[in-house]
Amino acid sequence: MTTFVPSLCRAARCFCAGADLSLVGSVIAEGKIDDFLSRWHNVFARIEGCSKPTIAAIHGMALAGGFELMQVCDLAVMGDASRVGDQHAKFGLFPGGGSTQRLPRLIGRRAATWMLLNGDSIEPGQALALGLVNDVVAEDAVAERAREIGETLAERSMVASRAIKEVLKRTRDVDLAKGIDIEREIAAAHMASPDVARGLYAFKSRTAPDFGYLQPANG
């Protein structure tokens, strides 16, 4: 039930170093940058809107567009020798993949402003302290740690996970009172789910809930 966003670089050298700038240059020259950005935003919106939890397994680097890609994932694991950051400012470019909107929401306005205007990458300890990633592990353990997190989430209720993600998405830009109203609406609807009955039964009987997603191996 969990979606992984794997490395996008050849031979798994890194998570993602961003867009091909030669292609971007051609798109600008052809006057098609708005179409290019629209497609980019649509892809990111699909990942962000996925009903299943998404996990970015970051090793090597996640820079520029790659940094923006990790921001659309729900969770992130980072290697202890990796770097992340938005380098657009170093080359007079604009972070057009959503960093100006998502990054302040993730780490706060001041920290995001510095990262976007400065353009330097940051080390794993800083990324963890800022809340950009959920865990830092050895480089060769990144994929395994992401898989462990995915397996943990796979034991949870898919229906509950979807409802929680829906609340988080719908309340991102509203005040607390409105957010509580939206939470109550979705919570009330969720309580009619069979998964709630399964969870309550498991709690009462002191057993682990079985939501029926994991199938036994054949044979």
User: Does the residue 215 lie in any domain?
Assistant: no
pTM confidence score? 0.82
Claim to verify: residue 142 and residue 180 sit in the same structural domain? no
Domain residue limits at 78: 3-154
Claim to verify: residue 105 and residue 34 sit in the same structural domain? yes
Long-range contacts made by residues 130-136, C-beta under 8 angstroms, separation at least 24? 130/106, 131/106, 131/107, 132/70, 132/76, 132/84, 132/106, 132/107, 133/58, 133/76, 133/77, 133/78, 133/84, 134/75, 134/76, 134/77, 135/77, 135/78, 136/77, 136/78, 136/79, 136/80
User: Does the residue 142 lie in any domain?
Assistant: yes
Predicted confidence (pLDDT) per residue in 17-44, tens digit: 877 777 777 878 888 788 888 888 999 9
Average pLDDT of the segment spanning 39-56: 92
The pair of structure tokens assigned to 140 is 């060769």
Claim to verify: residue 170 and residue 112 sit in the same structural domain? no
Claim to verify: residue 56 and residue 68 sit in the same structural domain? yes
Claim to verify: residue 64 and residue 127 sit in the same structural domain? yes
Q: What whole-number distance in Å separates Cα of residue 216 and Cα of residue 203?
A: 23
Q: Confidence class of residue 197 from pLDDT cuts 50, 70 and 90? A: confident
Claim to verify: residue 127 and residue 145 sit in the same structural domain? yes
Q: What is the pLDDT of residue 217?
A: 42
Claim to verify: residue 133 and residue 194 sit in the same structural domain? no
Claim to verify: residue 104 and residue 13 sit in the same structural domain? yes
Claim to verify: residue 99 and residue 144 sit in the same structural domain? yes
Average pLDDT of the segment spanning 170-190: 92
Average pLDDT of the segment spanning 58-75: 94
Q: CB–CB of 33/27 below 8 Å?
A: yes
Domain total in the chain: 2
Claim to verify: residue 31 and residue 111 sit in the same structural domain? yes
Burial (CB < 10 A; 0-12, 13-18, 19+), residue 172, is: exposed
Q: Name which residue leads in pLDDT, 4 or 53.
A: 53
User: Does the residue 72 lie in any domain?
Assistant: yes
Predicted confidence (pLDDT) per residue in 90-142, tens digit: 989 899 899 999 999 999 999 999 999 999 999 999 999 999 999 999 999 99
